C-alpha cells in the first residue's frame, strides 16, 4: 500500500490543535512530528489548511426501499458524495422486511454496499418487531458481526412503528448484550390522527406535514423513550432531534445522570418551517420526519451543540427525487419522507458553526467525527488523528468556497435544500485509509474500495 506524507498542516482533533506533519503507512497514521522528511509515494502540501479526521456520519439511508421506490443514492453515489464533503465513514441502517431475520437483512445490506461503497461503512439494524428470535439475533449480531446498535421507530404506524412493549424489550435485550438502542422519537399514533383530520378538511399541501407533526409529538416520544430507557437501565441515543421541547427532556435526563445521547442534523439548524410555504409543490423537497421547525428551535439546538447537551451532528441522508416526491402532490402524507445531506453536513456546520463563531474547530471535529466514532464503537480507529488510527483525513481549506447546487454537488438527486447558498470552508483533499480519493474537487477513488466495519460493543449487562 503506497505511503503518504502530509506536510505543513495544522492538525485538529477533538482535543488538540497543533502544527505538524504526518506520515501514513499501510493505511494508518505511522508518525506525527515537526519537519518530517521521509520518502513517500505521495506528498500532500497542507499549507494554509487544517488536517482534520475524516467525518463520521452515523445516520444515512442509502439504497433504502420505501414502498415501491428506493432512496435515490446507492452505496456508490452516496459514499462518493460523502467523500466530496469530507465524510470518510458512514453507518447506514439495515432494515428487515416484516418477518425477515436480522441476519438475512444484514446480508442484504452488505451486498448492497459490497463492490460499491467508496468509503468505510458499518450498519445499525432497525427492528420492526421484537419477538421470536430477535433477542438472540441481536446478541449474535453484537458479539460476532460488529452490528452493535439497534434502532426502533415510535412513528410510522403500520409500517415501522413498534409499541412500548417491543421498545422496552429491545432496550433490555440491547443492555444484556452490550448494544446501544437508537430511537426515532415521534408519537406516530397522535400524528396519524392529526393527518387524518387535515386530509378530511381537504388540507393536502406539504405545509401540513409540519402542522400534523408539531414539536409536542416529538417531545412526548423523547420523554417516553427516556422513561423506558431509565426503567430498563439501558443507554439510549435519540436520532435527528429537531426541537427545543425534545432537547429539554434530553438535558433533564443527562442532568439526572442517565445515559442518554442525542444527535441533530444540519437541516434542523439551517432550515425552518417556512420552506413548506414555497411556491407550487417545492415544499415537498423539505418533507422529512421530524419536520423543519422554527427559529427558536434552531437557537436551542445551536446552544445544545455548543454546551455539550447535544453530542452528534449526523445527516439522516435519505434523498428522493422530485418525481418521487410528486406522488404526494394531492396528499402530503404520501410524499416520501427524507432529504439529501450526506455531502453538505461538514460544509454547512463549518460555515454556519465555526465561521459564525458558534463552535470552535475542535468542537466541530467532536461533533462530526470523534463523538459519533466513540458512541458507535469506531474509536480510535476512526474519528481522530493518532498513531495507529486509520489515515482518514480531510485537508480542510478554511477559505474554500462552495456554492451549494444540485447540478454541481454529487448526490444523485435533482434538487438541493440549500440551493444557491454559498459556504466557506471545505476539503482541498480527502484521504481514506491513506489513499487520496478527492483532490481539488476531482474524484480519485474507486467503487468498492470501502470496507465493512465491525464495530465494538459496550459491556454486556446481564439481567
Ligand atoms: O424523513 C426521514 N427522516 N426519512 C428517513 C427515515 C427516517 O425516519 O429516519
Ligand atoms: Zn433516518
Q: What pLDDT digit, counting tens, does each position of 403-454 carry?
A: 999 999 999 999 999 999 999 999 999 999 999 999 999 999 999 999 999 9
Reported pTM: 0.98
User: Going by C-beta distance under 8 Å and a sequence separation of 6 or more, which residues neighbour residue 44?
Assistant: 4, 5, 6, 7, 395, 429, 431, 436
**Centre of ligand 1 from the C-alpha of residue 81, in Å:** 19
d(CA 154, CA 148): 20
Element (H, E) at 236: strand 236-238
| Residue for grid cell 422554527 | 294
> Does residue 280 surpass a pLDDT of 80?
yes
- CA of 316 relative to ligand 1 center, distance in Å: 6
The 3-state DSSP composition of the chain as helix, strand, coil percent (nearest 5) reads: 35, 25, 40
At residue 304, the pLDDT reads: 98
What's the burial of 274, exposed, middle or buried (CB within 10 Å: 0-12/13-18/19+)? middle
Q: How confident is the model at residue 1 (pLDDT cuts 50, 70, 90)?
A: confident
* Bond preceding residue 380 cis, omega within 30 of 0: yes
For residues 122-138, give the mean pLDDT: 97
Closest residue CA from atom 3 of ligand 1? 289
Our answer on whether the CB atom of 346 is closer than 6 Å to any ligand 1 atom is no
Residue whose CB lies within 8 A of the most ligand 1 atoms, among 93, 183, 217, 240, for a mutation test? 240
CA 219 / ligand 2 centre spacing (Å) = 17
Residue 463 above 80 pLDDT?
no
Rounded to an integer, the average pLDDT of 197-213 is 98
Q: How far apart are CA 97 and CA 279, in angstroms?
A: 37
Phi-psi region of 165 (alpha: psi -120 to 50; beta: other; left: phi over 0): alpha
Distance (Å, rounded) from C-alpha 164 to C-alpha 414? 38
Question: Whose Cα sits closest to atom 4 in ligand 1?
Answer: 338
Confidence of residue 364 (pLDDT cuts 50, 70, 90): very high
Other CB atoms closer than 10 Å to residue 451's CB: what's the count? 17
Tell me which residue has its CA closest to atom 7 in ligand 1: 289
Q: What is the DSSP string of 49-75?
A: -EEEEPEEEEEE-TT-EETTEE-S--H
| Residue 325 beta carbon below 6 angstroms from any ligand 1 atom | no
* Rounded CA separation 272/283 (Å): 11
**What are 384's three cell numbers?**
481522530
pLDDT in tens, 96-112: 999 999 999 999 999 99
Q: Is 64 in the pocket of ligand 1 (CB under 6 A)?
A: no
Amino acid at each position: 500500500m503506497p505511503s503518504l506524507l502530509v506536510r505543513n498542516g495544522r492538525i485538529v482533533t477533538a482535543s488538540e490543535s497543533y502544527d505538524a506533519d504526518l506520515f501514513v503507512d499501510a493505511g494508518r497514521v505511522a508518525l506525527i512530528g515537526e519537519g518530517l522528511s521521509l520518502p513517500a509515494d505521495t506528498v500532500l502540501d497542507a499549507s494554509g489548511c487544517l488536517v482534520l479526521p475524516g467525518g463520521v456520519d452515523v445516520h444515512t439511508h442509502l439504497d433504502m426501499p420505501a414502498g415501491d421506490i428506493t432512496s435515490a443514492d446507492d452505496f456508490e453515489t452516496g459514499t462518493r458524495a460523502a467523500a466530496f464533503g469530507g465524510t470518510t465513514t458512514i453507518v447506514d441502517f439495515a432494515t428487515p422486511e416484516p418477518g425477515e431475520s436480522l441476519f438475512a437483512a444484514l446480508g442484504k445490506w452488505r451486498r448492497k454496499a459490497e463492490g460499491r461503497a467508496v468509503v468505510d461503512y458499518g450498519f445499525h439494524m432497525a427492528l420492526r418487531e421484537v419477538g421470536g428470535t430477535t433477542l438472540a439475533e441481536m446478541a449474535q449480531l453484537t458479539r460476532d458481526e460488529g452490528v452493535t446498535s439497534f434502532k426502533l421507530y415510535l412513528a410510522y404506524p403500520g409500517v415501522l412503528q413498534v409499541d412500548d412493549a417491543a421498545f422496552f424489550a429491545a432496550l433490555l435485550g440491547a443492555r444484556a448484550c452490550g448494544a446501544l438502542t437508537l430511537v426515532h422519537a415521534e408519537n406516530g399514533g397522535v400524528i396519524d390522527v392529526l393527518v387524518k383530520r387535515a386530509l378530511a378538511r381537504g388540507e393536502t399541501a406539504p405545509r401540513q406535514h409540519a402542522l400534523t407533526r408539531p414539536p409536542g409529538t416529538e417531545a412526548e416520544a423523547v420523554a417516553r423513550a427516556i422513561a423506558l430507557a431509565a426503567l430498563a437501565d439501558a443507554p439510549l441515543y435519540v436520532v435527528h432531534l429537531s426541537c427545543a421541547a425534545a432537547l429539554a427532556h434530553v438535558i433533564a435526563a443527562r442532568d439526572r445522570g442517565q445515559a442518554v445521547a442525542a444527535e441533530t442534523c444540519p437541516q434542523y439548524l439551517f432550515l425552518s418551517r417556512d420552506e413548506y410555504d414555497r411556491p407550487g409543490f417545492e415544499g415537498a423537497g423539505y418533507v422529512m420526519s421530524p419536520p423543519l421547525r422554527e427559529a427558536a428551535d434552531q437557537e436551542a439546538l445551536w446552544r445544545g451543540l455548543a454546551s455539550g447537551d447535544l453530542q452528534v451532528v449526523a445527516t439522516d441522508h435519505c434523498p428522493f427525487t422530485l418525481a418521487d416526491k410528486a406522488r404526494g402532490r394531492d396528499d402530503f402524507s404520501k410524499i416520501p419522507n427524507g432529504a439529501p445531506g450526506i455531502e453538505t453536513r461538514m460544509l454547512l456546520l463549518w460555515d454556519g458553526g465555526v465561521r459564525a463563531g458558534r463552535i470552535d474547530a475542535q468542537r466541530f471535529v467532536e461533533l462530526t467525527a470523534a463523538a459519533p466514532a466513540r458512541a458507535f464503537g469506531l474509536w480510535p480507529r476512526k474519528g481522530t488523528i493518532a498513531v495507529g488510527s486509520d489515515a482518514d483525513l480531510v485537508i480542510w481549506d478554511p477559505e474554500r468556497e462552495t456554492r451549494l447546487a444540485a447540478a454541481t454537488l454529487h448526490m444523485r438527486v435533482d434538487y438541493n435544500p440549500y440551493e444557491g447558498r454559498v459556504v466557506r470552508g471545505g476539503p482541498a483533499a480527502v484521504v481514506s485509509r491513506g489513499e487520496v480519493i478527492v483532490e481539488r474537487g476531482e474524484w480519485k477513488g474507486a467503487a468498492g474500495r470501502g470496507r465493512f466495519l465491525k464495530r465494538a460493543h459496550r459491556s454486556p449487562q446481564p439481567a
